[in-house]
Chain A
């Protein structure tokens, strides 16, 4: 039994049109996604824009309605009427992509970080203040920052305030939606290191949503690749990076710029091979709607979306 189990999750958005706003169709943002995250591990969800990775994360925590499927957290169903109730759970928190807009600019750091504490825990003013100072210390910000406003901080510092808020209630699961995409590389390194330290310290579980394969590889134990609302491949870090099976995964990996200028020719050749395979063999990987097939196991840990044999 996994820590967080998602089964056949579907999120379909209605398309409305015409004079009476009738529903004329659906966008299948997430179309049958299943996975399990084990406690203390980092699960990476990779995809390009429009792949449904963010919607998956938002649906799991309850920011998007769920069309069908099940979400089980610590063995109990976390699905309300048609929405996940995990956002009311104090052990589940979310970190957002944009450190500039996800913090209320009119609130002091103290109030931003104290908000979850005030909502869930009955603490006196002094206790709240002390807890906030501890949290700031943990994310590496000085205690004097407590009365400052978000605009007085740099991007990396703001993202750390967001992290401090997320860990205020000592959560077990953090859903991080592209937490470092808006940051400079050196600041990105800071936030990534810090997230890893925190994981060790608090035995945190991360669902890490991202598009940068370098970051994903650095951080994640298990990785899933998403394309147009469906999984195309899922496996351990080694499965995905050393033995990619699906053409889409191969394309993604081939597209990462190689940091060695000396490998230019090799990289170009690999990319051309993958491109050639993509062009003549894409029928083997995508159905006639251009979507991925169902997942077939090719090893204990490695699942690939391939047509059923026979």
Chain B
């Protein structure tokens, strides 16, 4: 897994420098139709991704993080997309599939979660990597293309590239398949890479190798990376900035050090307390009361997390919670964080069962 590392042209400072902005999302709302009504899975999300930056997005299932990724890539079939998504200064929200296909796979690419299902079982690994190069560079000769594919297989650290070229996905292990998926994603050296839970299905030792690979790619290609995960450890190791999503909204966004040192939003803090931490001993893990509401039952007004912290007085919440910039670059939604505290364990026990 040796990568040639180019010297970075840019150095990253906290805050936004417009010339480096790669992706800018404003008030994005992605809605799905369920029984004749539209429900927003991504609700009023605004964020930016810069070059040579990893933006981590954390959240549990149902938080809308994958729906957000699919919206950027234009991969939703029957969703209504409102708001703006600007990629390198050009709008890519609701553009035609033909136009999107010129960008997808070339300037922007995606790494998928499940290496077992994301590859076509009937095509060789070589053909599948080859396809993405062919689609965006039809003039390349077959021989050159094959050479490039083998170079890519080598780059993602798969031994014996010529042999692997001819293999089918089922002949490879999960970790190797994920490398193939990464090879597909980086084949045309995209400027924006979206990794949707890239290591969730993998063993820890493989995970750390894949994460190293993604880090190298960032340095090597100067790419902007969106890393979606539910694993706070992965975020801590990888991200430059972090956005925490809950119920379709960003509830907190800050650079990684600030967020881990001083998490503010009740949801962020609850998440931190519910993960078994290998560094310190906890007797009990924190349990967030209730469940993530389904898309149809999402409260659309007020603080969406309020029902899960019922011991916090209603007056602590804003009527229409917005993101507040508490220190430069650190945004928190709603005012409830200033009055949030964790309840006494014994009290919590009586309540957590009710669902």
Contact = CB atoms under 8 A, between A and B. Distances in A.
Decide whether A and B assemble into one complex. Answer: yes
Interface of A: 48-49, 137, 139-142, 154, 156-157, 184-190, 192-193, 196, 211-215, 217-219, 241, 251-252, 254-262, 264, 267, 271
B233 A256 contact: yes
Contact of B286 (A49, A189, A252): A189
Interface stretch (B68-76, B144-152, B347-355): B347-355
A214 B277 contact: yes
A140 to B, nearest CB: 3
Nearest to A50: B173
B232 interface: yes
12 contacts: A185-B275, A189-B285, A193-B285, A196-B284, A215-B276, A217-B276, A241-B278, A256-B204, A257-B208, A258-B236, A261-B236, A261-B260
Given A48-B205, A185-B232, A211-B204, 9 more contacts: A139-B353, A154-B292, A189-B288, A193-B287, A213-B278, A214-B275, A214-B277, A255-B205, A258-B279
Contact of B208 (A186, A187, A188, A255): A255
B291 A260 contact: no
Nearest to A156: B291
A217 B281 CA distance: 9
B127 interface: no
B234 interface: yes
A170 B270 CA distance: 33
A184 to B, nearest CB: 4
Given A49-B174, A257-B236, A186 B60 contact: yes
Given A184-B60, A214-B275, A259-B275, A140 B353 contact: yes
A255 B210 CA distance: 11
Residue picked from A186, A190, A214, A264, most chain B C-beta under 10 Å: A186
Nearest to B62: A184
Nearest to B59: A184
A158 B333 CA distance: 32
Give the 5 A-B residue pairs with the shortest CB-CB distance, closest first.
A140-B353, A257-B233, A218-B276, A189-B285, A48-B203
Contacts of B207: 255, 257
Nearest to A211: B203
A186 B203 contact: no
Nearest to A145: B355
Contacts of B270: 186
B204 A213 contact: yes
Nearest to B353: A140
Interface string B191-219: 00000000000011111100100000000
B274 A189 contact: yes
B285 A184 contact: no
Contact of B230 (A185, A213, A257): A185
B271 A185 contact: yes
B279 A48 contact: no
Given A140-B352, A186-B288, A252-B204, A214 B278 contact: yes
A132 to B, nearest CB: 16
Contacts of A251: 205
Residue picked from A142, A214, A257, A271, most chain B C-beta under 10 Å: A257
Contacts of A212: 204, 276
B353 A141 contact: yes
B175 to A, nearest CB: 9
Contacts of A193: 284-285, 287
B313 interface: no
Nearest to A190: B287
A219 B278 CA distance: 11
Given A48-B203, A259-B233, A186 B257 contact: no
A192 B275 CA distance: 10
B278 A261 contact: no
A258 B280 CA distance: 12
B343 to A, nearest CB: 14
Contact of A262 (B60, B61, B257, B271): B257
Given A157-B355, A213-B204, A218-B285, A257 B274 contact: no
A164 to B, nearest CB: 12
A252 B205 contact: yes
B285 A256 contact: no
Nearest to B61: A184
B207 to A, nearest CB: 7
A8 B233 CA distance: 37
Nearest to B288: A186
A65 to B, nearest CB: 26
Interface in B285-334: 285-288, 291-292
A255 B202 CA distance: 12
Contacts of B120: none
Contacts of A141: 353, 355
A261 B204 CA distance: 18
Nearest to A140: B353
A261 B288 contact: no
Contacts of B204: 48, 211-213, 252, 255-256
Nearest to A47: B203
B231 interface: yes
Contacts of B271: 185-186
Given A256-B204, A261-B256, A188 B279 contact: no
B278 A256 contact: yes
A189 B292 CA distance: 14
Given A157-B355, A261-B257, A192 B276 contact: yes
